[in-house]
Amino acid sequence: MIAEHERRHGIFYALVLLFKYNGQILLEKLKIVSWSWVIINFLAVFHLMVLHAKKTYDEFKARNLESICDTAMATIIYGFSTFTFVYWISRQKALNEILEFIDRNQRERSLEGMTFVESVKANTTQRRLTVVWTVMCMAGVMSWGLVPLLSGKRVLPLNCWYPIETTTPVVYETLYFLQLFGQYGVGLAFGNGSGLFMALVIVLCGQLDVLFASLKNVYYQTDRMANKPLPEHECASDVDEYAYSEESIVTNVKPKFSVIDNTNYKIFLKRNFQKCIQHHQFILEAAKKFENLYFPYCWVKSMQVTIQLCFLAFLMVTSEKSVFRGINLLNYSSLTLLELLMFTYFGQTLKEQSVKVNMAFWRSNWYEHLDLIQKDILIFLINAKRPIVMSAGKFYPMDLSRFISVVTQAISFLTLLRKLDLKSS
């Protein structure tokens, strides 16, 4: 039997570091320092939510619809960021559990036929995309801080309520710093939640890729161990079977025995197929933990994105024609749509990849020794019956149909706001 490559631990190290850096989860040591950092980051975002909520209340009394939408949108953004701090701190145990579970049980390499598949490409892809997405989020939210500097006006980046005069020396600089610090927290709060979702899906799809190859190669692996001649051509893979992996050609593989009897062949065949079953059960268990971790988050995220898209579209249509404001609104709109697309696209990808397990099995030479592993096949087919579906609040799946639904709802709300605006004017 060919030994499996050493498993790589800490594949989510960069994401965990970002969560800790933003105070969304606690450090393993230095509890007092850790809790202090969490509270500082939480208050930086929470106080901006409260100030924008007060501003929204004042604008509501003034009956200014554009200003109400502007400040209400900001309140929702900072409110959701506040929610993420509370959510991840309260779910840190579940978060650590799933990350450690995947790190401990993931398989880097499939069983071998004439080819094999490794998960290293999927793990590398998730790290790179996480970095790119985090940079995009930070660039988008921190761009608000450049507006006063570029315009040359002594105003704060965020137009929220303060009980004091904000333009006086020292006060202005202090408030400017607090707003920038709060914006930094918002950027990581949004980026970390969606980045982790994307990373988990990519890693699980990488594990499914390894499983597909193992199912295809289970008889070839056994034949190699039995020193049997391999067929000239192995089972072909579908063009779109692997989401993040590519097949590599096996070279210089020495058989374990020169002669083997049928009894030993049965033992090795059963052992190899049970490896596939155990790997599939690991993927299903990881997906279950993933779903339990994210279904409340996805439900709140869906509501937040729907309302936020509506307000952003309304402000882009009705707000004053300012270059800086237009660029900032476009940034927020693009990031909001892209974040929603990330959740729904990767949810769709995981769902589609999970249903390919059966097809990968049927493409193997399962019929050649059916009597030897009949019970194992039944167990496997029962486990592979249902697709892996990420949901929002257990109410609806997070797939591309949800993306269309959210955008449609946002357009409906936008139409209502436009009618209210025309009536008020």
DSSP code string of 193-250 = HHHHHHHHHHHHHHHHHHHHHHHHHHHHHHHHHTTPPPPSS-PPPPTTS-SS--EEE-
Q: Residues 222, 183: contact at Cβ < 8 Å? A: no
Q: CA 302, CA 289: separation in Å to the nearest integer?
A: 20
Residue 157 domain-assigned (yes or no): yes
Token reading at 158: 């965020």
| Total tally of structural domains belonging to the chain | 1
**Alpha-carbon 360 to chain mean position:** 26
Domain residue limits at 36 = 13-424
Task: Give CA torsion, residues 313, 75, 294, 133, to 10 deg.
Answer: 60
Q: CA 107, CA 63: separation in Å to the nearest integer?
A: 59
Residue 7 domain-assigned (yes or no): no
Q: CA 376, CA 373: separation in Å to the nearest integer?
A: 5
- Say which residue the tokens 């080819």 belong to: 115
Residue 187 domain-assigned (yes or no): yes
Residue 3 domain-assigned (yes or no): no
Residue 166 domain-assigned (yes or no): yes
Residue 77 domain-assigned (yes or no): yes
Q: Residues 325, 312: contact at Cβ < 8 Å? A: no
Residue 34 domain-assigned (yes or no): yes
Question: Going residue by residue through the chain (425 aa), what tens digit of pLDDT does each one get?
Answer: 333 333 444 788 888 888 888 888 888 777 888 899 889 999 999 999 999 899 888 888 777 777 888 888 889 989 999 999 999 999 989 999 999 899 888 888 877 777 778 888 888 888 889 889 888 888 877 777 777 777 777 888 888 888 888 888 888 889 888 988 888 888 888 888 899 999 999 999 989 888 888 878 777 776 666 666 555 545 555 546 777 777 777 665 555 545 555 567 777 777 777 788 888 889 989 999 999 999 999 899 988 888 888 888 887 777 666 666 777 777 778 888 888 888 899 999 988 888 887 777 676 665 666 566 667 677 777 777 788 888 888 888 888 888 888 888 888 877 887 777 777 66
Residue 205 domain-assigned (yes or no): yes
Q: CA 134, CA 18: separation in Å to the nearest integer?
A: 9
